[in-house]
A and B are shown apart, each in its own frame.
Chain A
Amino acid sequence: MHSKRTSIAAIFLAGAVMLSACSTAATPNTTSANSSASGSIQINGAGATFPQPVYAAWTYAYQYVDPSVAVNYQGIGSGGGKKAIIDGTVDFAGSDSLLTADEYTSGKDLQMIPILAGAVVPIYNLTLGSGAPTTPLILNGVLLAGIYNGTLTMWNDPAIVALNPDLASFLPAEKITAVHRSDGSGTTELFTKALTSFSPTWTAGGAASVEWPVDAAGNGIGGKGNPGVAAAVQNTPNSIGYVELSYALSNKIAYASMINKAGALVVANGASIESAMSDFANTFTDKLTNTIVDAPGKGSWPIAGYTYLVLHTTSTTDCVKTQKLLEYVRWSLTDSGAAKLATDLGYSVLPTSVQGMVLDTLGKVTCNGAAVPQ
């Protein structure tokens, strides 16, 4: 009996030692970042998955810029982010979807500030057979609208073949499965706004959550978040979907080039996004928002868009946190290292004129009635 008790105690002791070793080994970064300053400030953000790859890189890098601050961002969709900032559960929200009048009223003192611009690209999964050319598929706005309307149903439709003559014999006679977002999404809002501009046949509107005609036709599938759509396209043969450019690049999924409004063939990259931004340089609203889809320039990507942060401007009470949050936002806008992280992932930073506007607006944020020290 005595030996049984000691052996049980020994097992517990060994287990406790092993568990404690596991926990200290598992999180080296956060413990080192936190232990260098007592009581680190936690800033929470949530929202769009569109800019999530960049925000993840920035929040990681910012630990080394200012170890007393820990910024944390969760990608739950633009709709979730907007709801969270209105409810007050986060300090800042990420959203590509513009706030509606009702949301401005419920949120009381919300301000959207553009941070980056990105591109939404059509990704596809096509089995073309051996000997097929490896150049990307070429699509245009009218075709995309037709696919998501459920009217263009086959991959070897003459309209697609007309744009891709060297793939004529390789395009399969299979139905197109169109993947869309199942959650409320700013990426969807950008994409559907572009579709509305491309073709009058698209009548479902341009919003974060729409009723997809391709669903009613039986060829639609919904995925959750940009990663969900990317995964659904990868797992579904003969499918097409839309995601932010960095998801296509990092998952190495084939994405289409498009023929834009000027009739030129463009590839989604930093230059074509910048061209779209400069086409609409003077159309910012007084709420600092701008829509840059279907840009008329020769080198412009047709489905580009700004992504925004949503902040409270006058109602914050924790002034240290507000100051640290604004420092983080200014760092992300002006620091060259941050800019490189963004451009490496396929996004574009704001042009100087827009950056100036944003920094001015940040200077007007108050906390408890007083201006926030810079």
Chain B
Amino acid sequence: MQKTIYQPGKKNGIVRKIETITKHGDRIWLGLNFSMGVVIIVLMVLIGILLWNQSAASRQEFGLSFISPFARATWNPVNGTFNAWPFIYGTLITSLVAILIAVPLSLGIAIFLFELCPAWLRTPLSLLVELLSAIPSVVYGLWGIFVFLPVVIAPLGKFLGNALGNLPLLGILFIGPISASGSSRLAAGVILAIMITPTIAAVSRDVFMAIPNSQREASLALGATRWETISKVLLPYGVSGILGAVILGLGRALGETMAVTMVIGNSISNSGSLLKAGYTMSSVIANEFAEAVSALHSQALIEVALILFLMTLVLNIIARLLVWRVSRKSSSEVRA
């Protein structure tokens, strides 16, 4: 019995050897984890450097006129003149439309799932919402072409064109008529909204679940109605988390390629209207990169990729700063 008790003072040779090796285990483990984190940063920096270098000739040739909305909107591989503003505009406007539709929709879904849903419906409905985000992008595109565009977008576009096309400022966005098959920026925006809603809804629901019950109970105890509790107590408390969810959704919308390419019409037009066919940065790269043989054409496409990369980075940084600022404000409010 005495022999089996571990006596730290007395060790035989093998035990001591094993100890000298394994006592560094923690450090090795921490080091591995640290290097994994560093790998991510290094990867991003390398991608940025690659994009920057490979687009050198194009940047030198066109300079700022590449992204200028005032230069002639031309993407001409035959002459070698390129201007990427139509694609930048397409990406921005479709993502904006997607966010405008998806955020209220997702918040509504999250609030319903959290607050108002009967218990027997909660789990199946949450599962269905999460399943929506698992549908592949190309399936959304196919469904869009064959079902959604002719059945929903074409009539909707006709209605919006007639109703809003003549308004002074907003009308520019709705100059009709909508293209015959429904392929338009509006179609891309709506399908993007459907694709990012599950992401935003799932994260928002988790944010609501994380709010301590005491807040809700205190508000109800003070006599607030359900709606007042949600709008005045829960939403402000969770706004930083919800903003984070919206950032996630926006990131997906900016980069989404397949579904957008299939429904946006792939056309570089002079009109900025939502009802006309358009083009996005990711679509033009997907369509043209495999065949861009002339060096200037490939470099121009890589410059478009660089712009997309920087745009996503900048938007994410702005949104992250916003989240920090808001969370500082809201927590101080709660404390007061």
Residues of A within 8 A of B (CB): 76-80, 82-83, 86, 100, 102-103, 174-175, 177, 182-184, 204-205, 207-212, 215-224, 231-232, 235-239
Contacts and interface: CB of A to CB of B under 8 A. Distances in A.
Contact of B287 (A100, A182, A207): A182
B267 A211 contact: no
Contact of B291 (A83, A175, A212, A219): A83
Interface stretch (B29-37, B70-78, B239-247, B316-324): B70-78
Given A210-B77, A239-B180, A222 B266 contact: yes
In order of increasing CB-CB distance, the 3 nearest A-B pairs are A79-B291, A222-B266, A184-B291
Given A218-B276, A237-B180, A77 B291 contact: yes
Interface string B166-177: 000000000001
A215 to B, nearest CB: 5
Contact of A221 (B73, B266, B271): B266
B145 A231 contact: yes
A215 B291 contact: no
Contact of B183 (A83, A184, A204, A236): A236
Interface residues of B, dominant DSSP: loop
Given A209-B288, A217-B269, 16 more contacts: A77-B290, A82-B293, A83-B292, A182-B266, A183-B291, A184-B77, A184-B288, A210-B78, A211-B78, A212-B267, A216-B73, A220-B269, A221-B277, A222-B277, A235-B146, A237-B180
Contact of A177 (B78, B181, B292, B297): B181
Given A205-B78, A211-B75, A222 B265 contact: yes
Interface of B: 73-79, 145-146, 149-150, 177, 179-181, 183, 261, 265-271, 276-277, 279, 287-288, 290-294, 297
A218 B288 contact: no
A222 B78 contact: no
B302 to A, nearest CB: 14
Contacts of B78: 204-205, 207, 209-211
B181 A183 contact: no
Given A82-B293, A83-B293, A231-B145, A221 B183 contact: yes
Contact of A238 (B180, B276, B279, B290): B180
Contacts of B287: 182-183, 222, 224
Contacts of A211: 74-79, 268
B269 A216 contact: yes
Contacts of B261: 224
**Residue picked from B74, B145, B180, B270, most chain A C-beta under 10 Å:** B180
**Residue picked from A100, A183, A219, A222, most chain B C-beta under 10 Å:** A222
A103 B294 CA distance: 8
**Residue picked from B76, B267, B292, B294, most chain A C-beta under 10 Å:** B267
B85 to A, nearest CB: 13
A235 B266 contact: no
Given A235-B150, A239-B180, A215 B288 contact: no
A207 B180 CA distance: 27
B155 to A, nearest CB: 13
A183 B291 CA distance: 7
Contacts of A220: 267, 269, 277
Contacts of A77: 290-291
A209 B78 CA distance: 7
